[in-house]
Amino acid sequence: MNDITALSASRLAESVRQGKISAESAAKAYFDRIERLEPTVKAFLAVTKDSALDQARLLDKKRKNGQQLGVLAGVPVALKDNLQLKGVETTCGSKILKGHIAAYDATVTRRLKEAGAVIVGKTNLDEFAMGSSTENSAFQKTTNPWDSACVPGGSSGGSAAAAAARLCAFSLGSDTGGSIRQPAAFCGVVGLKPTYGMVSRHGLVAFASSLDQIGPFTRTVEDSALALSVIGGHDPLDSTSAVNAPPAVEPAPKDLKGLRIGLPKEYFIDGLDQEVEKSVREAVGVFKSLGATIREVSLPHTKYAIASYYIIAPSEASSNLARFDGIRYGFVDRSASTLEEVYEFTRGAGFGAEVKRRIMLGTYALSSGYYDAYYSKAQRVRTLMTRDFQDAFKQVDLIAAPTTPTPPFRFGEKTADPVAMYLSDVFTIPSNMAGNASLSMPCGLSAKGLPLGVQLIADVFQERLLLSAARAFESARPFPMLSDRSVSLLESQ
Ligand code: GLN
């Protein structure tokens, strides 16, 4: 029965509700797998086995007593370690938060628990979600389950790897400039960045508040819709939370007749890896064969995406990270003898190089005299990028594009050059700037057997359309799964 982990979250929850599989045996199947594979994958910063098994047994008891179980009954879920899980450490992959125990559940955590999900642990990430490879974690390097010499992408690399290696039925991550979609593409899973405001950010440690969104990593599109239906919807605890309800889970449409898909010419450029381009164009062919019409569109301000993002995101981060002062949360350097030294020593020792780089950039961009030249100008460019999408969505219903310019890269390949690392997000950042919905799903494997992803971009609050087109694609061309052969390779490493 160990192949409980091969079931999708939707099928598993169904079986648990019907009493065909107990929540306890589902949790145990996942913990067995974590024991076997986690030494190589290193996806988790914390595994919450005891509380998970208690939660699972409680669900089984409820069912025996005739109580109705939720839509995620007995589904093992992992949370990126910048999401609060009450009673468990939240580190954000940073030494500065070592020892900080969450005092409350994030809204997404609470909603997952209420729907019957079983939380199995907290996953590794680039420090404060800053990075594209998870190599910026202060604690460990997560490997790509498809090839342990490659990065899983980032910043939600732990969540992506855990979902791909079936160390959880699905996981949650956060996406500020691509941190759900890029690692989803690298690990061969579905990563959804909902519309800004669709999912409450209450209990997500803020990186860049106007760009951050929480979303799921799943192995099927149906599971992505299911996860969104649970975590989405208005929350009075987040003032930017929208009133829009998430779409209900619907069956896959048989075809996509009448759907207009746009290919942004600025995304198919020199520098786009040929294998990525080929597999994205093949994916477009699948949409065409399903009845969609394809045309070129233009998003002319794409070329300013990275430059304006690296003003706006660090500016917001420099302000958000001011709260980590050695007094309120986690680590404090006790050798300090003055208040100023408390700040200086704690932040000096607690933050890693990338986080310090962003704080300096952001503080500079926001300083008086430079604010208009940098921050305010970047915000104006952001408006232009938003208008690009508004214009495109007058002509087409969805946009299809590569998720990343390259296939998964190797450890160390981009760490010496921050700008090379930043370029990983050139195709994902625009949707954070405009706040629209976007997902990455697997569209093939490279010659080396590494996953490649196609990105589908929808207008704001068009998640229903986005997920239904993705489901049609998935039924026409089932996603490659991490095979048992790769798993035995992982075990032997
Ligand atoms: N890689 C981008 C960055 O480093 C995006 C990170 C994210 O989406 N959290 O900022």
The residue contributing the CA closest to ligand 1 atom 5 is 177
Residues marked as catalytic: 80, 155, 179
Domain spans in the chain, listed from the N-terminal domain onward: 4-257+407-492
For residue 159, how far is its CA from the centre of ligand 1 (angstroms)? Answer: 14
The second-level CATH assignment, the architecture, of 4-257+407-492 is Alpha-Beta Complex (3.90)
Q: Tokens in use for 148?
A: 């342990």
Q: What is the mean pLDDT of residues 55-78?
A: 98
Q: What is the mean pLDDT of residues 163-182?
A: 98
Phi and psi torsions of 2, nearest 5°: -70, -10
CA-432 nearest atom, ligand 1: 8
Q: Give tens-digit pLDDT for 8-37.
A: 999 999 999 999 999 999 999 999 999 999
- Note the pLDDT of residue 270: 81
C-alpha span between 58 and 61 (Å, rounded): 5
Neighbours of 476 (CB within 10 A): 16
Half-sphere exposure of 183 (CA within 13 A, CB side): 43
Q: Following DSSP, what letter does each residue of 175-222 receive, concatenated?
A: ESSSTTHHHHHHHTSEEEEPPTTTB--TTBPPSSTTT-EEEEEESSHH
Q: Give tens-digit pLDDT for 357-366.
A: 999 999 999 9
- Note the pLDDT of residue 489: 66
- Note the pLDDT of residue 484: 63
Q: Give tens-digit pLDDT for 82-98.
A: 999 999 999 999 999 99
Q: What is the mean pLDDT of residues 295-301?
A: 98
Average pLDDT of the chain to the nearest whole number: 96
Asked whether 459 lines ligand 1 (CB < 6 A), one says: no
- Note the pLDDT of residue 480: 85
Asked whether 130 lines ligand 1 (CB < 6 A), one says: yes
Q: Which residues neighbour 214 within 8 Å (Cβ) at sequence distance 6 or greater? A: 83, 106, 108, 172, 173, 174, 175, 194, 199, 200, 201, 204, 231
- Note the pLDDT of residue 485: 60
- Note the pLDDT of residue 191: 98
Q: Tokens in use for 9?
A: 């979250």
Q: How confident is the model at residue 287 (pLDDT cuts 50, 70, 90)?
A: very high
Element (H, E) at 301: none
Asked whether 72 lines ligand 1 (CB < 6 A), one says: no
Tell me which of 82, 179, 212 to substitute to probe ligand 1's pocket, judged by most ligand atoms within 8 Å of the beta carbon.
179
Query: Is the predicted pLDDT of residue 1 greater than 50, yes or no?
Result: no
State the pTM of this model.
0.97
Q: Tokens in use for 277?
A: 């381009």
For residue 131, how far is its CA from the centre of ligand 1 (angstroms)? Answer: 5
Q: Is 2 exposed, middle or buried (0-12, 13-18, 19+ CB in 10 A)?
A: exposed
For residue 405, how far is its CA from the centre of ligand 1 (angstroms)? Answer: 15
> Looking at this protein, which amino acid is placed at residue 386?
T
- Note the pLDDT of residue 404: 97
Half-sphere exposure of 466 (CA within 13 A, CB side): 30
Query: Is the predicted pLDDT of residue 202 greater than 90, yes or no?
Result: yes
Query: Is the predicted pLDDT of residue 65 greater than 60, yes or no?
Result: yes
Neighbours of 266 (CB within 10 A): 18
